[in-house]
């Protein structure tokens, strides 16, 4: 964890569906010790009526780690918040920003920004059920509502339920006409709205999310808000996190190389294989490790080759590096993102 003088939310990796599973978080933790990590969004129905260990189990190495919930019923969210505490999470977060059709059918995610009082009551119920920090991740608006007053009033209302930490994706969520992918790029970024929230609610922790790339951008945003959450940049180029502990989180520099990170991850994959799990479900999360280095594309191709899945991870790693060296020697200089 960051030193107590720094906010626990100073730097985090966003919850990303199909990406930030326990294997991804284990890999990210090899690169950064103190950055806060989030699970994928897990619905209350999946937890209360499904396989709880599959959704909730994680490795001790992943701390600090937060569970993100999707749901709109205060009682169900409270029950899941209690589970989060029982399982040992460091935080429970309510998703009020996802715009997918599945989420809309369930009337949660970004839809909840229309029902601030319900979010307030949900937060209050969750806080009554556990002692973990209860946080909310949301957008600055929905559809064509582009007034700052909308998000200001949302935060003010939800705060009455006891929430003091707001993670703000600085785009609107368009619930009609855009796919979830387009919702991450087409609605314009309005960082100034997030800055204004910090000015209007100085006692709250305000975390900015959306389109942030690179340490210099992180540093600029931290001049205005309490924290920054990084999404796809951290996933596609994970080595960008290597200096976050030292630069932003009051820790020491990571005394590891890409080679040693890969070696640690290969050990993890070997343990998965020994327990009869498909290691390829975990290896996909490290495909960006060598991004920008000569031979990286060939290295990725080997790890992604379905014919390799019958081999031991150590052998795949050996073949991947042999292929990368050959590609580099023959002049490959481009590493696909």
Q: Which residues are known to be catalytic?
A: 98
Q: Cα–Cα distance between 94 and 14 in angstroms, integer? A: 13
Residue 277 marked ligand-binding:
no
52 annotated as a binding-site residue: no
106 is in an annotated binding site: no
137 carries a ligand binding annotation: yes
| 219-229: b (≥16 Cβ within 10 Å) or e | eebbebbbbbb
User: What sign has the CA pseudo-torsion 215, 18, 63, 299?
Assistant: negative
292 annotated ligand-binding residue: no
The answer to whether the annotation marks 53 as part of a ligand binding site is: no
- Residue 43: HSE in the Cβ half-sphere, 13 Å Cα cutoff: 14
Distance CA 337, CA 327 (A): 17
Tell me whether residue 210 is annotated as binding.
yes
**Residue 172 in marked binding region:** no
68 is in an annotated binding site: yes
Where does residue 47 rank: exposed (0-12), middle (13-18), buried (19+ CB within 10 A)?
A: buried
User: The tokens of 112 are what?
Assistant: 């909840």
Q: Is 205 helix (H, G, I), strand (E, B) or coil?
A: strand
Nearest alpha-carbon partner for 160 in 129, 135, 123: 123
Tell me whether the omega of the peptide bond preceding residue 64 falls within 30 degrees of 0, making it cis.
yes
Whether the Cβ atoms of residue 66 and residue 93 lie closer than 8 Å to each other? yes
Q: Known binding site: residues?
A: 15-17, 68, 137, 169, 209-211, 231-232
Annotated binding site for FMN: 15-17, 68, 137, 169, 209-211, 231-232
């Amino acid at each position: 964890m960051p030193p107590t003088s720094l906010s626990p939310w100073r730097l985090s990796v966003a919850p990303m569906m199909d990406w930030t599973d326990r294997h991804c978080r284990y890999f990210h933790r090899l690169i950064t010790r103190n950055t806060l990590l989030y699970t994928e969004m897990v619905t209350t129905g999946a937890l209360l009526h499904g396989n709880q260990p599959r959704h909730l189990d994680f490795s001790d190495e992943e701390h600090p780690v937060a569970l993100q919930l999707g749901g709109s019923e205060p009682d169900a969210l409270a029950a899941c918040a209690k589970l989060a505490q029982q399982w040992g999470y460091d935080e429970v977060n309510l998703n009020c920003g996802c715009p997918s059709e599945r989420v809309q059918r369930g009337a949660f995610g970004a839809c909840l920004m229309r029902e601030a009082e319900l979010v307030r009551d949900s937060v209050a119920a969750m806080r009554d059920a556990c002692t973990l920090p209860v946080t909310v991740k949301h957008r600055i608006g929905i559809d064509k509502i582009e007034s700052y007053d909308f998000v200001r009033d949302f935060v003010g209302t939800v705060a009455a339920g006891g929430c003091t930490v707001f993670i703000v994706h600085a785009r609107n969520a368009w619930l009609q006409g855009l796919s979830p992918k387009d919702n991450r790029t087409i609605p314009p970024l309005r960082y100034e709205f997030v800055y204004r929230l910090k000015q209007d609610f100085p006692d709250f922790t305000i975390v900015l999310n959306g389109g942030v790339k690179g340490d210099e951008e992180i540093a600029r945003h931290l001049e205005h808000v309490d924290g920054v959450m990084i999404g796809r940049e951290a996933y596609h180029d994970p080595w960008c996190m290597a200096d976050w502990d030292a630069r932003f989180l009051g820790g020491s520099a990571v005394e590891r190389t890409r080679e040693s990170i890969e070696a640690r991850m290969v050990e993890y994959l070997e343990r998965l294989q020994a327990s009869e799990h498909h290691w390829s479900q975990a290896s996909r999360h490290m495909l960006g490790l060598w991004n920008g280095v000569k031979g990286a594309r060939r290295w990725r191709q080997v790890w992604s080759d379905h014919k390799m899945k019958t081999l031991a991870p150590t052998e795949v790693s050996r073949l991947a590096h042999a292929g990368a060296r050959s590609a580099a020697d023959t002049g490959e200089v481009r590493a696909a993102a």
